[in-house]
Amino acid sequence: MLTVGLAMLQGARNEHMHAILKAAADLNVEIEIRELRKSSDVAGIDALILPGGESTAMKIASRSEELYSGIWENVRNTNIPVLGTCAGAILLSQNGLINAGIERNAFGRQRESFQSDIEVNLEEISTFQGVFIRAPRFTDGSGNAIAWLGDEVVGILERNVMALTFHPELTDDFRFHLWLLNEALSRTEHDQ
Ligand code: GLN
């Protein structure tokens, strides 16, 4: 049984829930989705999802319960795999969990939201449908790139922390969620 923590303060949470459940069914693994609302919810999770949405709203919502400080401490101490999408990627960058700068809303007004095929270099994933919604842009960190929109880096994997500026949870393709569960599985096997 794997416990997958999902930050619940704001953003595309249900979509991630569906995607991770599909990935778990595909792998035939039992999972519990732990809805994270306060820092005391974080202990004991095997994997973490930080959804997209509005990073400023997330930070404001976190203040009363200090959810994010609890999350960052847990990730640093345990090295669990993390999947952060869009606003989730912004939070990972701003809190030093990945070594890359990020610029919010970097694609400008007329390209605020768009879809495009992207190139991926992660296990069996080589292309993916990138859904970009008021997407941020990495300003450095290309050494750890795993996804590209043309020349632009749109995905970074550092150790087991993945930051994507697009939204895999808004497609039917749950391969990034499979990656998260497979990472969590291989870590729990090592621990036994
Ligand atoms: N523009 C949002 C922010 O700055 C991110 C957009 C998204 O998560 N789709 O937080």
Residue 11 has a pLDDT of: 85
What is the pLDDT confidence band of residue 2, given thresholds at 50, 70 and 90?
very high
- Note if 190 is an active site residue: no
The CATH number of the domain where 64 resides is what? 3.40.50.880
- Return the best residue to mutate from 49, 85, 105, 154 for the ligand 1 pocket (most ligand atoms within 8 A of CB): 105
**Number of CB atoms found within 10 A of residue 171's CB:** 17
Residue 66 has a pLDDT of: 86
Q: How many residues does the chain have?
A: 192
Whole-model pTM: value is 0.95
Please indicate whether residue 113, judged by its CB atom, sits closer than 6 Å to ligand 1. no
CA atoms of 25 and 49, how far apart (whole Å): 17
Two tokens, residue 152 = 């632009």
pLDDT tens digits for range 57-88: 988 888 877 899 999 999 999 999 999 999 99
Tell me what the mean pLDDT of segment 35-55 comes to. 95
- Residue spans of alpha helices (H) in the chain: 13-27, 55-63, 67-78, 87-94, 175-191
Q: Give me the residue label for tokens 């693994």.
A: 29
Of the listed 16, 169, 177, 183, which one is catalytic?
Answer: 169
- Note if 16 is an active site residue: no
pLDDT tens digits for range 80-134: 999 999 999 999 999 999 999 999 999 877 678 999 999 999 998 999 999 999 9
CA-nearest residue, atom 9 of ligand 1: 133
* Boundaries of domain holding 130: 2-191
Please indicate whether residue 93, judged by its CB atom, sits closer than 6 Å to ligand 1. no
Rounded to the nearest angstrom, the distance between the alpha carbon of 52 and the centre of ligand 1 is: 6
Q: Can you list the pairs that 63-66 forms with residues at least 24 positions away whose Cβ atoms lie under 8 Å?
A: 65/37, 65/38, 65/39, 66/38, 66/39
Number of domain units in the chain: 1
